[in-house]
Structure 1
Amino acid sequence: MSTDQQTGATGHKAPAPIKAVPLKHPGQWVAAAVLLVLAGLFVYGAATNPAYRWDTYAQYLFERRILEGVGYTLTLTVIAMFIGVALGVMLAVMRMSPNKVLSATAWLYLWVFRGTPVYVQLVLWGLVGAIYKKIDIGIPFGPTFVSFDIQALNAAFAFAIIGLALNEAAYMAEIVRAGVQSVGEGQIEASTALGMSWWQTMRRTVLPQAMRVIIPPTGNEFIGMLKTTSLVAAVPFTLELYGRQRDISGVNFQPIPMLLVASTWYLAVTSILMVGQHFLEKHYAKGSTRASAGNTTMVEEGK
């Protein structure tokens, strides 16, 4: 830039640019030092406390029954989450449907499953055999085609999945509904103007755009489901991670190291899922980032 340009129209020399000096925050260093000291004291105390029984912890960390429990935990999480997401999408669409019967049915479902604890629901699923001793399928007050003896079925694993999935569907329905409502009304009006029905508009226009809002909280729900599987002992189903460690600690009478083993595996799997969630959120945030950058550029050009 030339001297004339720096002088400007008024003849005054332009001021020198301000040199920004970052503020010092000594309190952060003090807080960090205090936290490090406390963490060191905790680690030292845990390492020297015989109650933790680190030898037992090392013995069972990769024990066959524990690894099988991890496998069952992941299986429960994936299957229950898949069913919960599919049912949640259907409930969300029903909840926003102009059909009053569908909307009221979805609202009643959400009211029941969000209003009662998941542990209580799992206990009730475990008592299905006591509530319904036999299920007959046929014509009401007529012939029976198929009959199931519930008490003879060994379906704890299936009941655990059903209980987790039905509860998760209620929360996924609200997540999907929030994502759908984030789509502008103009998109729906444009689809209607093109002759699409309400269901076609939801399937082809609204839901694909709502995924940017739906995906991140769904990742949180997936991680939460992994930890919620520890409650399926209420069914009772005890082959997952928490149930396995509880069975082992009931034999060796060392619950503390066994709980630490289970916690280590929960932390390990959760950490992997959190990394995956981070990249998934980053992927679905690309569109909004570009849109914001484009809007900023247009504003600057308008100036």
Structure 2
Amino acid sequence: MGIYEVLVRDFPFLLKGLGVALILLAALLVIGFVLGLAMCLIQLYGPRTRLVQWPLIAYERVFRGIPIIIMLFIFYYGLAGLLDITSFAAAILALGFRSAAYQSQIFRSAFQSVPTGQMTAARAMGMSKTRAIRYILFPQAMRYAIGPWTNEFSSEIKETSLAYVIGVVELTRQAHYIISSTQGNVLIVFAVVALMYFIVNKSGNSLLYGLERKLAVPGFGKR
């Protein structure tokens, strides 16, 4: 059986692997969004004490400074002795916590792009700091964050492919299975996989760019 016949036969397995990669991507981005936003808000509007700020700075530097493969090994093999954790859960945590470190900086820049007078005006109107952040600063900051967030999306969809090193059966590992069954044909198989990643990346960025245009208001840059 030729390689093209094998690809047609095994393409559903590639789609299954892609589905696993997309679930992994969605989960890690949600974790990164929630933790990253919380870290950003604490850094900008929380207590300025070292006890609060220094752990957040240390978190960012650690998760941004360690290679993701090492982080995957730490979360999977390191936690295996403490917790009964699957490779998929370990990948979500490792990639999600790392994404949080990057997303916190995206949100921090976005909030700092909102004129400081906005908070002053909101407080002068009698709004609490929490309400001012929620109703005045947050909607504006999210518009600024969409552009940089597309880069995070592109980066993370590619990094989900590294989850195969701890046994997650995603798209890259499925490709390895096909290559093993065909005794080679590496170029063709990974060309198909590359095309699938490219389509997902392009589609996601197009949706985010569309959202950015839809939410555009006077005074905000247009892509």
> Normalising to structure 2: TM-score of the pair?
0.88
* Structure 1 partner of 2:54: 104
Deviation at 1:233, TM superposition (A): 1.9
The amino acid across from 2:178 in the alignment is I
Q: Distance in 2 between matches of 1:69 and 1:166?
A: 23
Q: Distance in 1 between matches of 2:201 and 2:168?
A: 20
Larger Rg: 1
Q: How has the CA–CA distance of structure 1 residues 204 and 104 changed in structure 2, closer, same or farther, with 3 Å as cutoff? A: farther
The alignment partner of 1:188 has SS state of helix
The structure 1 segments of at least 4 consecutive aligned residues displaced by more than 6 Å after TM superposition are: none
* C-alpha distance after superposition, 1:35-84 (max 9, x if no partner): xxxxxxxxxxxxxxxxxxxx524631562211100110111111111111
Is the contact made by 1:97 and 1:103 (CA closer than 8 Å) also made in structure 2? no
Structure 1's unaligned 5+ residue stretches are 1-54, 135-149, 293-303
- Which structure 2 residues correspond to residues 106-145 of structure 1 after superposition, within 5 A? 106-129=56-79, 133-134=81-82
* Structure 2 partner of 1:253: 183
The CA RMSD over aligned residues, in Å, is 2.1
- Which structure 2 residues correspond to residues 42-191 of structure 1 after superposition, within 5 A? 56-57=3-4, 59-60=6-7, 63-99=11-47, 100=49, 101-129=51-79, 133-134=81-82, 150=83, 153=84, 155-191=86-122
Q: Distance in 1 between matches of 2:209 and 2:117?
A: 31
- If each structure's helix is expressed as a fraction of its own residues, which one has the higher value? 2
Question: More relative contact order in 1 or in 2 (CA 8 Å, sep 6+)?
Answer: 2
Q: How has the CA–CA distance of structure 1 residues 57 and 102 changed in structure 2, closer, same or farther, with 3 Å as cutoff? A: farther
Q: Distance in 1 between matches of 2:44 and 2:139?
A: 16
Q: Distance in 1 between matches of 2:43 and 2:149?
A: 19
* Structure 1 partner of 2:151: 220
* Structure 2 partner of 1:241: 171
Is the contact made by 2:18 and 2:171 (CA closer than 8 Å) also made in structure 1? yes
Q: Distance in 2 between matches of 1:244 and 1:105?
A: 39
Structure 2's unaligned 5+ residue stretches are none
